[in-house]
């Protein structure tokens, strides 16, 4: 009887601990989404540019510059400012075919960048869903969470969050663009004011043997 009571007591303690862990998970999800929402509100006051360099088989093939800002509905908008290729232009029919292929490559890169942006700036609902099913650990002031099937079946996302501020430090993802595999790394930094923002991005597109290195730069406050 005494042994049975001990087992039941242990099971009760385990159940209570498990329930507490679930409550902590929910609270963590809310804390991180709240911190991100507050940070995004401050980020809406800025306009910035993303300079991207595309290499294929280790050779620079395309550079592009895009401008980012949030519209009046709070949606992040991207506008292409400039794109330049290092591929020498051919003449005649071959030149027109080359130009068409170059435009296809530009469109492919733009689509890839949009995919990365989706992982960079996630909605409150997306964050709650992610942390609700993520495997979570914490060490040395950093919370690490990993989960799959975020946007498409089979994709994976790992997020590192600063424990003290609940702001993002680092993200890594892998998934698909159509049937093509895609993976990326997103790094975050802070202004002196404490506002967090994405700094550098690395995107790998193995179907094209391509790598995109991007830098977010020239952050400036909007003047209405």
Would you state the structure tokens that stand for residue 147, as one six-digit string? 């989960």
Q: Find the helix packing angle between 124-133 and 2-43, rounded to 10°.
A: 150
pLDDT score for 91: 56
Q: What is the pLDDT of residues 57-80, one digit of tens each?
A: 999 988 889 999 999 888 888 888
pTM of this structure? 0.78
What's the farthest any 2 CA atoms get from each other in the chain? 93
Q: Residues 189-197: contacts with CB within 8 Å, 24+ apart? A: 191/219, 193/42, 194/165, 195/39, 195/42, 195/43, 196/39, 196/43, 196/165, 196/167, 196/168, 197/43, 197/46, 197/48
Contact 148, 155 (CB under 8 A): yes
H or E element that contains 66:
strand 59-70
Flag whether pLDDT at 100 surpasses 70.
no
- Confirm whether 147 is domain-assigned: yes
pLDDT score for 20: 37
- Confirm whether 203 is domain-assigned: yes
- Confirm whether 11 is domain-assigned: no
- Confirm whether 123 is domain-assigned: yes
| Domain carrying residue 201 | 26-221
pLDDT score for 21: 43
- Confirm whether 136 is domain-assigned: yes
Ranges 20-29, 37-46, 195-204, 212-221: which has the least confidence: 20-29
> What does pLDDT average to over the chain?
83
Contact 7, 29 (CB under 8 A): no
- Confirm whether 6 is domain-assigned: no
Q: How confident is the model at residue 8 (pLDDT cuts 50, 70, 90)?
A: very low
- Confirm whether 19 is domain-assigned: no
The number of domains in the chain is: 1
């Amino acid at each position: 009887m005494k042994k049975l009571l001990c087992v039941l007591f242990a099971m009760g303690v385990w159940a209570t601990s498990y329930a507490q862990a679930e409550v902590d998970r929910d609270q963590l999800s809310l804390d991180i989404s709240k911190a991100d929402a507050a940070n995004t509100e401050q980020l809406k006051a800025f306009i910035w540019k993303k300079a991207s360099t595309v290499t294929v088989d280790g050779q620079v093939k395309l550079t592009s510059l895009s401008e980012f800002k949030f519209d009046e509905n709070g949606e992040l908008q991207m506008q292409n400012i400039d794109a330049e290729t290092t591929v020498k232009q051919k003449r005649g029919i071959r030149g027109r075919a080359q130009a068409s292929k170059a435009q296809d490559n530009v469109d492919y890169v733009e689509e890839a960048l949009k995919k990365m942006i989706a992982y960079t700036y996630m909605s409150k609902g997306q964050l709650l869903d992610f942390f609700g099913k993520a495997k979570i650990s914490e060490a040395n002031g950093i919370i690490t969470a990993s989960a799959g099937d975020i946007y498409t079946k089979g994709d994976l996302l790992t997020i590192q969050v600063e424990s003290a501020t609940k702001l993002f430090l680092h993200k890594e993802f892998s998934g698909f663009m159509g049937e093509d595999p895609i993976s990326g790394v997103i790094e975050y930094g802070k202004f002196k004011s404490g506002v967090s923002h994405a700094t550098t991005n690395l995107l790998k597109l193995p179907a094209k043997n391509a790598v995109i290195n991007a830098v977010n730069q020239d952050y400036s406050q909007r003047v209405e």
